[in-house]
Structure 1
Amino acid sequence: MYKVALFLILSLGAFASDLSIVKGEIKAHTEVFGDSEINPQTTHIKSLLTIADKIESIKGEVFFETLSLVSSKKDRDEHMYKLLDSEVHKVISFTIKNIVKNDTNYDINGVISLNGVKKEITVKSDINEQNNQIVMVGGFSFNLTDFNLEPPTLLFLTVRNQVDINYNIELKR
């Protein structure tokens, strides 16, 4: 009986295939009240994703190195790296637990890991598949304080607590 159960468990993994990132971009946005915007982004996205058959079976992790986030203002990037404690927390990740089809798009349920803190989140996403290419487009927001990060201040200028994330990731089976 043990051998049959082990065989079934191992054979389920045989039907899953890896997904690799063809290209992608993750953009963050926040504001400095009374001053300007902060818009770091990265295209250096990596993944450890699998899919069994349909989109709802995608599981795994999407991640990038904190230092790959760059904006048009290098001095602000240095402050951002310091805030994110990039020497200690070198990677920001999102682990996909499950994907559920809803009326208009998909809900991706997962866990964000940022600053050593893990938070569960549901992300709305448009996901389309064509010719073994899967495109995921969506966005979500979170607060810095949710991850034990205090929005920086300088004199009378304060960074907004809310960070908006937009992503566009193309995957290949």
Structure 2
Amino acid sequence: MLTDTRDVIVQRNPFDNNLNGLYLGMEHSRILIGQDDFHIKWISDVYGKQYLNKIGSEKICCAGVTLGDHKSVMLYLKTMIDEFMSLPYYKMVRSNYDQGIHNKLLYSNNFEDVVHCDPLKSIISTVGLVPRNEIILNCNNEILDLDGRVSTIIHQYDRHKDIENIFIKKYLN
């Protein structure tokens, strides 16, 4: 598992599942790549406006949590590193382009055995863009998937300040 540390909570052991393939956390579909200022900059800076237009109507895939079986994660890392190394140094030092590159490689079909993890429906729940009224907490202050089960991995919980405050009290006391 590759993960951000600042804004990720693991509520259940993700390795209790039989992981086959590469699991990628998708953002809520209310904002697409071509509608997000960060993605517009990252992708157009590195790959140009023409490529941005090609994938602008796709859902954002967040690079903040990626997991899978050993082979899939190692292939992911090799693919990302190869892409980083193929890009001009002067361009790569200007900004942090990893998520733009991650999306470019996903929508160019450079990753194998991909499992798209939609928020509150799968092992990775990237909830930053999920409307707050769609996020349900149980009596133990755990975020639930839409099927009522405790979500496994929660990413971007801090985009909802009340949930961030609940988690701070829960995990820092």
Q: TM-score, normalised by structure 1?
A: 0.25
Higher alpha-carbon Rg: 1
The structure where strand makes up a greater share of residues is 1
Report which structure shows greater RCO (CA 8 Å, sep ≥6).
2
The structure where helix makes up a greater share of residues is 2
